[in-house]
Amino acid sequence: MNNALKLAEPVRGQVDADGLLLSADPLLMRLHLRCGGKEGGPLAVPELAALCRLSRRLRMNLSRPVHASDDDSRIEMWVETRLASAERDQPLALSIIDWKEYSHDESDKADPARDRDFDRLEGRGAIRTDAALRIIAKQMPGKAARNFGAIGQSLIDIYDVIPPSAHAKLLEAVAERQPIRNQRMREKSGAQRLFVMQGEPLIDKAGLFAGYRFAAALDDPEPPVQDARQASGKLISDSLFGMQLGPALRQPLGKIIANAETISTKLEGPLRGDYASYAKDIASAGRHLLDLVNDLSDLEAIERPDFTVAGDDIDLVDLAHRAAGLLAVKAADHQIRLELPDKEQKMPASGEFRRSLQILVNLIGNAIRYSPDGSVISLSVSADQGFARISVSDQGSGIAQEDQERIFEKFERLGRSGDGGTGLGLFISRRLARAMGGSLTVESAADQGSTFTLSLPARKTP
């Protein structure tokens, strides 16, 4: 549901050369405060502040759309900037001529059970980030000045991940737009307090990743780390890739992708078209390398003898909509329509939430990659013999009978090249499905499309 305000006159404000909000009409001031700002302080709406800086740097009056978001709503504005004079120290006038507010989509919200878990936390705080993990709203226990000072900064620049080896898992979850559970983090400055973070990815109504909403609780001092592998009487040295090479690769790749995407969207100002295209290619190549790093880490994990998965209560219809939301833009780029089961339909199952979502994202991503433009990919659910099933069907070229087992082998891509795949996704997905007590199968024929079916143990509902 949206609320498009009919502005009788523009919403106005003034920003000085240092970015301080000198004056603002009530609507703009309210947004500024909700984003963590304070009266007389720096403008706290990230895109609006960036537009002001750009207008000053170019010494031009600008007019363009601006987006903002907080815990309650997403705001779309059309903003005009006007320089009082050519002198740099003169105030910059803001005029907002259009204002629309949207409540966050229901799929963005945490499950009720998880919400109840968050509500039980003591010393609870909240952080809202944009898609690049920049903090746009922050309310933590302590002084307001500390909350305000973090606005616009990256979450991982403000907090250290505890233990350091968990940094890779955090970046992996962000790259895959997955929930973040029980992540311990410590402030890098000030009191250096320790928090436990719970994060939910936010997907807007257009299917675009909009950032994270974090709940945070003050934690006790760090307990001694006990290696679960030592508990069994064995001492297994840390893996070379998962614990050392993986984290070393993910962090620079994440920065390359984020910076390239910022350049390609021209957020900081005009850019030649071919340069924007180069930036998109860089981001695409970075994502491919990050996918490979993630797949190799998963491969290493599932082949350990002590590998286990959680037995969460999940709903396959809910997972279908979450996975489709993550890939909606990619599908739209190829004019591919995703047909999904009705949201009111339920298909309860038992399996790890994160891993089940990972399998579905892989299956839908493969279907998009190998389907013709303008085709349809359909997701359907069913139950049979104690299993809940979800199927992903495409209208691609299909898979010959003799190749239908080969595609589940390591690095097998049936001779395809240049399609962005790593050849590990289906192998990992089948191993994960089996670890959760289920299976992953395919039905296909040459030139007749393919249907991949994930089966998980059904969960009885009261």
Question: What pLDDT score does 47 carry?
Answer: 85
pLDDT tens string 374-400 = 999 999 999 998 999 999 999 998 888
Query: 27-35: long-range contacts at Cβ-Cβ below 8 A with a sequence spacing of 24 or more?
Result: 27/96, 27/99, 28/94, 28/96, 31/68, 31/70, 31/75, 34/70, 34/72, 34/137, 35/68, 35/70, 35/136, 35/137, 35/151
Tell which residue, 133, 171, 159, 154, has the closest CA to residue 219: 159
pLDDT tens per residue across span 361-374: 889 989 998 899 99
Confidence of residue 236 (pLDDT cuts 50, 70, 90): very low
- Determine how β-strand 337-339 pairs with β-strand 376-384: parallel
Residue 133 has pLDDT above 80, yes or no: yes
Strand 387-393 relative to strand 376-384, pairing: antiparallel
- Of the two residues 184 and 140, the one the predictor is more confident about is 184
Interval 299-311 mean pLDDT? 74
- In this prediction, residues 204-227 reach a mean pLDDT of 64
Q: Give the per-residue pLDDT at 246.
A: 62
Q: What's the whole-model pTM score?
A: 0.47
pLDDT in tens, 160-184: 888 776 776 777 777 777 788 888 8
What digits encode the pLDDT tens for the residues 437-456? 999 999 998 788 999 999 99
d(CA 187, CA 191): 7
Q: According to the model, what pLDDT value does residue 268 have?
A: 58
Burial class (CB within 10 angstroms; exposed 0-12, middle 13-18, buried 19+) of 235: exposed
* Confidence bin at 402 (pLDDT 50/70/90): confident
Higher-confidence residue of 418 and 401: namely 401
Q: Alpha-carbon distance 66 to 77, whole Å?
A: 5
Confidence class of residue 327 from pLDDT cuts 50, 70 and 90?
A: confident
* pLDDT for the residue 100: 81
What secondary structure letter does DSSP report for 359?
H
Please, which residues bridge with residue 160 across strands? 186
Please tell me whether residue 438 adopts helix, strand or coil conformation: coil
